């Protein structure tokens, strides 16, 4: 299988969950479209590289003290939750991390390989819902 075909097959199952209700310090509740999380979600939707992933808006990831927050997940892989992202600059960082995640067989990305914002911003790592495939 060619590299491009493999990439498309693997990335089709990688989801980037974006908390659209995250608010940066000092932001008001309304309008919702002005919130940092909503702006981050829109930014990811507008990024051409994001087409390699499923971008999933979520109402709340319950990490309100560390906005903006995203989670990376895929079937059979560990899920990562990252916070403290800046809406205006995080799209490229998230996509770089998502590429590393996509290419990791179990979803575990070496700390030293992650973009700096994802090294500092890790909130949680959750085990796969399904059993890991046997070798």
pLDDT tens digits, one per residue of 77-105: 999 999 999 999 999 999 999 999 999 99
Burial, 130: exposed, middle or buried (Cβ in 10 Å; 0-12, 13-18, 19+)?
exposed
Q: Are strands 15-19 and 54-58 parallel, antiparallel or unpaired?
A: parallel
What pLDDT shows up at residue 25?
86
What residue segments make up the domains of the chain, in order of their start?
3-65+83-122
| Per-position DSSP letters for 34-49, written without gaps between them | GSHHHHHHHHHHH-GG
Give yes or no for a contact between 126 and 79, defined as CB atoms under 8 angstroms apart: yes
Residue 76 pLDDT greater than 60, yes or no: yes
Sheet holding 70-73, edge to edge: 54-58, 15-19, 70-73, 79-82, 122-126
Residue 3 pLDDT greater than 60, yes or no: no
What pLDDT shows up at residue 11?
44
Give the separation between CA 86 and CA 90, rounded to whole angstroms: 5
Closest listed residue to residue 47, CA positions, set 99, 9, 2, 100: 99
Render pLDDT for 22-75 as a digit per residue (tens, 0 to 9).
Answer: 998 888 888 888 899 999 999 999 988 888 899 999 999 999 999 999 999 999
Give yes or no for a contact between 24 and 36, defined as CB atoms under 8 angstroms apart: yes
* CB atoms near residue 100 (< 10 Å): 16
What region, left, alpha or beta, does residue 22 occupy, with left being phi > 0 and alpha being psi -120 to 50 degrees?
beta
Q: What is the pTM of this model?
A: 0.84
Give the separation between CA 14 and CA 11, rounded to whole angstroms: 5
């Amino acid at each position: 299988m060619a590299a491009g075909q493999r990439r498309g097959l693997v990335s089709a199952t990688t989801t980037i969950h974006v908390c659209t209700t995250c608010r940066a310090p000092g932001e008001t509740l309304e309008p919702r479209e002005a919130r940092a999380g909503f702006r981050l979600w829109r930014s990811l939707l507008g990024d051409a590289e994001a087409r390699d992933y499923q971008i999933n808006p979520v109402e709340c990831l319950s990490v309100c003290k560390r906005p903006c927050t995203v989670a990376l997940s895929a079937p059979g892989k560990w899920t990562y939750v990252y916070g403290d992202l800046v809406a205006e600059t995080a799209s490229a960082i998230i996509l770089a991390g998502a590429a590393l995640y996509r290419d990791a067989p179990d979803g575990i990305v070496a700390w030293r390989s992650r973009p700096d914002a994802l090294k500092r911003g890790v909130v949680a790592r959750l085990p796969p819902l399904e059993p890991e495939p046997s070798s």
